[in-house]
């Protein structure tokens, strides 16, 4: 780039800033026209600057970077903190988990290859090729795995299995074998969940521990072991009716469930997260659910925008 080109580029930037400042006068606009006409290198620099803006900002779909949305936040967010994390990561030989915090906000990319993915707030019933039915909770992902198998990699699903070959449901920490009837599964980050609704379900961990569940029974399990069986847990499937029913659970559980139905950010402070909640909440109207929570718990909502709601102790 010649010194003239450099000067023209600087001038083009100054003009761009001046004209988009909101305070450009008619005199400014006339001066700009004059500047453009003065020298061919000025026009060229102006075009190049605008090409640069086209290549970055203007080629993006309108609204994609709307103020306050996750993408915009990712662009303006504090990258330095992440850099520091990165410094620790490679040099310390790895005790820091990769991108866990940042990636957690989004549905992990690998789920995009899943056969069935539901968006925030979306429930979907799917007829499986073998004639069985699957209903996916919001923000869930499942893939067909052979003729009589389904892999659920995120969120929750209810399966209705007719008499026949049965169905094998693979989960991150094990598998569930359903001969006939209804059962629900859910994937959490470190554990998986299974609830038998009608008919029995056979749970196996990756390590090969088995447990048979009768209707109404549920368990949490990880790759190694299975927690104690709990009875009368049928309400854990209430999401399929658009409801969330909790019995003496931490507020965090409710928030996590509502967040699956609500675009934007919904967070609770650590203190508020630990409050115990019992109740029935509408999933499809999360504003009403939040209002119900504020009526029964010592909490207050901080609405920074419709996209960002923080819950704290009142």
Contacting residues toward another protein, per CB under 8 A: 9-10, 13-14, 16-17, 20-23, 48-49, 51-53, 55-57, 59-61, 64-65, 67, 69-79, 82-83, 86-87, 89-94, 96-99, 102-103, 105-109, 112, 119-120, 263-264
User: Based on CB atoms, which residue is closest to another protein, 211 or 262?
Assistant: 262
Nearer to another protein, 110 or 276 (CB): 110
- Smallest separation (angstroms) from another protein to the CB of 69: 6
Cβ 110 vs Cβ 140: under 8 Å = no
Q: Lay out the sheet containing 265-268: strands in order across.
A: 265-268, 308-313, 299-305
| Cβ neighbours of 289 (radius 10 Å) | 22
| CB proximity list for 139: less than 8 A, separation 6 or greater | 107, 118, 119, 120, 154, 155, 260
Backbone angles phi, psi at 29, to 5 degrees: -65, -35
User: CB 51 → another protein: shortest distance, Å?
Assistant: 6
CB of 39 to another protein, least distance (A): 17
Give the 3-state secondary structure of residue 273: helix
Residue (108 or 164) nearer to another protein, CB: 108
Pick the closer one to another protein by CB: 56 or 189: 56
Which CB, 67 or 248, lies closer to another protein? 67
For 284, list phi and psi in degrees, rounded to 5.
-80, -5
C-beta of 46 vs 239, nearer to another protein: 46
User: From the CB of 280, what's the least distance to another protein, in Å?
Assistant: 26
Q: Is 216 helix (H, G, I), strand (E, B) or coil?
A: coil
Minimum CB separation of residue 126 from another protein in Å reads: 16
* Least separation in angstroms between CB 44 and another protein: 10
The first and second tokens of residue 1, run together, are 């780039």
At residue 76's C-alpha, the angle toward residues 72 and 81, to 5°, is 130
């Amino acid at each position: 780039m010649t010194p003239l080109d450099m000067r023209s580029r600087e001038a083009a930037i100054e003009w761009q800033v001046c004209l988009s400042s909101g305070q450009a006068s008619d005199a400014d606009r006339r001066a700009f026209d004059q500047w453009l006409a003065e020298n061919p290198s000025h026009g060229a620099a102006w075009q190049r600057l605008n090409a640069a803006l086209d290549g970055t900002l203007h080629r993006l779909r309108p609204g994609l970077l709307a103020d306050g949305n996750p993408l915009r936040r990712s662009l303006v967010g504090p990258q330095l903190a992440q850099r520091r994390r990165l410094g620790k990561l490679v040099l310390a030989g790895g005790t820091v988990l990769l991108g866990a915090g940042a990636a957690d906000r989004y549905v992990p990319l690998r789920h995009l290859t899943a056969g069935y993915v539901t968006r925030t707030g979306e429930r979907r019933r799917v007829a499986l090729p073998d004639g069985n039915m699957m209903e996916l909770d919001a923000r869930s992902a499942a893939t067909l795995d052979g003729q009589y198998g389904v892999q659920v990699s995120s969120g929750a699903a209810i399966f209705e299995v007719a008499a026949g070959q049965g169905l094998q449901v693979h989960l991150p920490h094990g598998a569930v074998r359903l001969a006939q009837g209804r059962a629900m599964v859910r994937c959490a980050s470190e554990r998986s969940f299974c609830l038998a609704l009608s008919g029995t379900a056979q749970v196996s961990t990756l390590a090969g521990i088995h447990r048979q569940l009768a209707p109404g029974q549920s368990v949490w399990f990880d790759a190694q072991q299975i927690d104690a069986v709990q009875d009368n847990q049928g309400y854990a499937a209430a999401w399929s009716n658009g409801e969330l029913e909790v019995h003496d659970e931490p507020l965090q559980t409710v928030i996590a469930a509502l967040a699956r139905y609500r675009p934007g950010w919904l967070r609770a402070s650590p203190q508020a997260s630990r409050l115990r909640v019992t109740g029935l909440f509408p999933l499809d109207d999360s504003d009403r659910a939040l209002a119900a929570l504020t009526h029964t718990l010592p909490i207050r909502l901080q609405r920074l925008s419709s996209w960002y709601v923080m819950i704290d102790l009142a």
